[in-house]
Amino acid sequence: MIFSPRRTTGALALGAGLLLLLPLAGLDLFLLDVLASGFLLAAYVGSWDIVGGVAGQICLGHALFFGTATYSCALLTSLAGWPFAAAAAAALLLSTTAAAVVGTFSGRLKGPFIALLTLALGELAHEVALGQTFFSPRGAYSWGGEGGIPVALPWGSPSPWASYYGALLFLFLSTWGMTRIARSKDGLIWTAISGSELTARASGVDVARHKRRAFLVAGLLAGAAGVGFAAHVGRATAADFSLELSFQAATFAAIGGRGTIVGPVLAALLLHALFQGAGIAPAARVLLYALALLLVLRFFPAGVAGTLRERVRERNMVPEGASR
Amino acid sequence: MNDLLLAERIEKSFGPTRVLRGITLSVGREEVVGLFGPNGAGKTMLANVLSGLIPPDRGRILFEGKDITRLSMDARFRAGLARTFQIPGAYPTLTVVESIRVALLCGEEGKRRSPRELEEEVESVLHRTGLFAQRFWMAAKLSQGCLRRLEFARAISCRPKLILLDEVFSALSAKDEGELTALLRSLRRDDGISFLLISHNPLILAEMCDRVVTIEDGRVTWEGKPADLAKYLPVAAGHDHGP
């Protein structure tokens, strides 16, 4: 079986091994930086897949949780003078709280209404971040908006190698954790909710509680990716809350295969590394992502990994009357 | 009080349309009660209210003597009041095994079972409902008969005391209908499960039920033995009682 836990873990370990050795092949600093950002973006997309793929709650404001974490790190370290570790812990708490609030509101809503609610909340946060400026502690200049706020890091400017390996470790651990969650009892119940809320309710599932829990887990993981991004880039900007970042998660998940975790993670990593590594301008990248989505959906209607999983499952179906 | 389920003076309106007009209905322990009536009489609405899908405007529902009027559908399932739907609902991306596992995990019994006991229970439900050969099938690929069986499998997973069956025999082949009838009988005999059987088909109600209640225009119009249902039917001439 392609998606057996052992095979998936093995494939992930092999991929991680290759990525571990890649910097030794003489990769330049720009590509190291692109890949490190790609690892964090891929983990963020995986977190979207927990709530949007496994639990089927289309979240179009997922950047809210990511941006909450990057902004918290920046504000708490640069303005409040907190040590980075404490700011990171607070950032995780705040992004999880934001997810709890969104999850609570989403509990009673369905389908497009959840998409609209999350879109509105994400865009509200983006507009606030865009318009809100802060004076630096010395009062010399203002921070915020598109220019962003610096993150005061204890190690000053991070080494590209440390960023690369730190982000890779985070991606590997978070992907492993997310696949475990997707295969857990909660993951099964979330998949059921995604399939039919009514049947889930008639099967004893407390749908609102489970939706909230899916948002909590996704928000925590997106927040963790945000903390990693803040530590890697050393700056939080309004773009961390942007609609583009939210839509990227949904697009990569659709390409990779919603609900498979590994598919969206790999799609995000490969497409980001390919297009950003080739130095393609952001506006052109959006068009290329859309083109990739159209092409993939033409041949893989449930995304690449999603369609492959369906084919494996169909192959495992025993003919009626036969026994295994 | 020996009633397992007692619904008293249930009323439900949507704007000016009164769908249920003070219905009182009871189901005893190990009893099979038939609910019969023409299209639009309020049968499915009553099932929705009894199962907790839709709250009533007035009236109260007692289950094992406890007031469950404001309890949600999932809480009622966990309490032992399960239901099936007129149009079987399935999780399209889950297999039969996984679909049953969801119901088992969410029932009160499921929380107390070890993973091994849970899998044994899944296997037992698969055998009882005749779905063992299709256990790795995606629910989206199942035939109508298998979907009905899956509904049964889901409903019996919480070891219910009462199952509301909404038009469970509609759109089935004669073979599937016969097998489901046998399953229903065995569940009643072996597990002591009570049923509220909603059906258009007077022959099935006469065959399966201990008592039949007929409703029309949101009111109970007749209650009696299944053998006497034929006497009631001419009274209701002019309404659509077709299968």
Question: Does B92 sit within 8 Å of A317, measured CB to CB?
Answer: no
Q: Which of A48-52, A138-142, A204-208, B156-160 is least confident?
A: A138-142
If residue B3 lies in a helix (H) or strand (E), which one and from where to where?
Answer: strand B3-14
Distance (Å, whole) CA B21 – CA B43 = 12
Q: Which of A13-17, A197-201, B175-179 is least confident?
A: A13-17
> A137 pLDDT exceeds 80?
no
Predicted confidence at residue B238, as pLDDT, reads 45
ipTM of the complex: 0.90
- Pair A55, A210: CB distance under 8 Å: yes
Residue A323 is assigned to a structural domain of this protein: no
Residue A322 is assigned to a structural domain of this protein: no
Distance (Å, whole) CA A95 – CA A65 = 5
From the list B105, B32, B145, the residue with the least C-alpha distance to A190 is: B105
The band of B204, judged by pLDDT with boundaries at 50, 70 and 90, is confident
CA-CA-CA-CA torsion sign (A74, A79, A83, A89):
negative
CA-CA-CA-CA torsion sign (A149, A150, A152, A153):
positive
Residue B32 is assigned to a structural domain of this protein: yes
Angle at A246 between CA A243 and CA A249, to 5 degrees: 145
Residue A206 is assigned to a structural domain of this protein: yes
Q: Which residues of A touch B155 (CB under 8 A)?
A: 202
Q: Which residues pair with B198 in a beta bridge?
A: B35, B166
Q: What is the mean pLDDT of residues B25-32?
A: 94
- Give the CATH number for residue A195: 1.10.3470
Q: What is the mean pLDDT of residues B192-200?
A: 92
Range of the domain at A193: 5-315
Letter string b/e over residues A261-278, b meaning 16 or more CB atoms within 10 A of that residue's CB: bbbbbbbbbbbbbebbee
- A77: DSSP letter: I
Predicted confidence at residue A318, as pLDDT, reads 60
Does residue B60 sit in helix, strand or coil?
A: strand
The answer to whether residue B243 neighbours chain A at the CB level (below 8 Å) is no
**Which pTM was predicted?**
0.90
- The whole-chain average pLDDT of chain B stands at 89
Predicted confidence at residue B227, as pLDDT, reads 85
Residue B206 is assigned to a structural domain of this protein: yes
The band of B230, judged by pLDDT with boundaries at 50, 70 and 90, is confident
Residue in A192, A310, A318 closest to B102 by CB: A192
Q: What is the mean pLDDT of residues A292-306?
A: 93
The band of B69, judged by pLDDT with boundaries at 50, 70 and 90, is very high
The band of B109, judged by pLDDT with boundaries at 50, 70 and 90, is low
* Total structural domains within chain A: 1
- Pair A39, A167: CB distance under 8 Å: yes
Residue in A194, A198, A203 closest to B77 by CB: A203
Question: Does A198 sit within 8 Å of B85, measured CB to CB?
Answer: yes
Residue B95 is assigned to a structural domain of this protein: yes
Write out pLDDT tens, residues A265-294: 999 999 999 998 888 888 898 899 999 999
Residue A320 is assigned to a structural domain of this protein: no
Distance (Å, whole) CA B145 – CA B176 = 6
A8 or B65: which leads in pLDDT:
B65
Distances (CA, A) of A236 to A166, A239, A299: 19, 8, 38
Distance (Å, whole) CA B162 – CA B5 = 8
Question: Does B141 sit within 8 Å of A317, measured CB to CB?
Answer: yes
In the block, tokens 């991004």 appear at A229
Distance (Å, whole) CA A292 – CA A294 = 6
Predicted confidence at residue B114, as pLDDT, reads 86
Distance (Å, whole) CA B76 – CA B68 = 8
> B1 pLDDT exceeds 60?
no
* Total structural domains within chain B: 1
CA-CA-CA-CA torsion sign (A284, A287, A293, A298):
negative
Residue B240 is assigned to a structural domain of this protein: no
Distance (Å, whole) CA A151 – CA B128 = 62
Q: Is B40 left (phi over 0), alpha (psi -120 to 50) or beta?
A: left
> A28 pLDDT exceeds 50?
yes
> What is the spatial order of strands in the sheet that B219-224 belongs to?
B81-84, B162-166, B194-198, B32-36, B211-216, B219-224
Q: Which residues of B touch A195 (CB under 8 A)?
A: 90-94, 139
The answer to whether residue A314 neighbours chain B at the CB level (below 8 Å) is yes
Predicted confidence at residue A3, as pLDDT, reads 55
B236 or A52: which leads in pLDDT:
A52
* Residue A313 Cα, gap to closest chain B Cα (Å): 7
> B196 pLDDT exceeds 60?
yes
- A23: DSSP letter: G
In the block, tokens 């088992």 appear at B104
> B210 pLDDT exceeds 90?
yes
Residue B241 is assigned to a structural domain of this protein: no
Q: Which residues of A touch B105 (CB under 8 A)?
A: 185, 188-189
Share of chain B above pLDDT 90, in %: 59
- Give the CATH number for residue B22: 3.40.50.300
Range of the domain at B161: 3-235
The band of B237, judged by pLDDT with boundaries at 50, 70 and 90, is very low
Cα Rg for chain A, rounded, in angstroms? 20
Question: Does B137 sit within 8 Å of A204, measured CB to CB?
Answer: no
Predicted confidence at residue B240, as pLDDT, reads 47
Q: What is the mean pLDDT of residues A143-163?
A: 84
Question: Does B74 sit within 8 Å of A317, measured CB to CB?
Answer: no
The answer to whether residue A184 neighbours chain B at the CB level (below 8 Å) is no
> B179 pLDDT exceeds 80?
yes
HSE-CB at A316 with a 13 A cutoff on CA atoms is 18
Question: Does A189 sit within 8 Å of B106, measured CB to CB?
Answer: yes
Distance (Å, whole) CA B132 – CA B153 = 11
Predicted confidence at residue A84, as pLDDT, reads 95
Residue B79 is assigned to a structural domain of this protein: yes
If residue B83 lies in a helix (H) or strand (E), which one and from where to where?
Answer: strand B81-84
The band of A79, judged by pLDDT with boundaries at 50, 70 and 90, is confident
| Chain A residue with minimum CA distance to B107 | A204
The band of A138, judged by pLDDT with boundaries at 50, 70 and 90, is low
Question: Does A196 sit within 8 Å of B91, measured CB to CB?
Answer: yes
| Chain A residue with minimum CA distance to B89 | A199
Write out pLDDT tens, residues A211-269: 999 999 999 999 999 999 999 999 999 999 999 999 999 999 999 999 999 999 999 99
Predicted confidence at residue A166, as pLDDT, reads 93
> B24 pLDDT exceeds 60?
yes
Residue B149 is assigned to a structural domain of this protein: yes
Distance (Å, whole) CA A186 – CA B74 = 16
Question: Does B133 sit within 8 Å of A320, measured CB to CB?
Answer: yes
The band of A159, judged by pLDDT with boundaries at 50, 70 and 90, is confident
Share of chain A above pLDDT 70, in %: 94
Q: What is the mean pLDDT of residues B59-77?
A: 95
| Chain B residue with minimum CA distance to A307 | B93
> A4 pLDDT exceeds 70?
no
Residue A212 is assigned to a structural domain of this protein: yes
From the list A70, A61, A132, A129, the residue with the least C-alpha distance to A101 is: A61
The answer to whether residue B106 neighbours chain A at the CB level (below 8 Å) is yes
The band of A27, judged by pLDDT with boundaries at 50, 70 and 90, is confident
The answer to whether residue A192 neighbours chain B at the CB level (below 8 Å) is yes
> B209 pLDDT exceeds 60?
yes
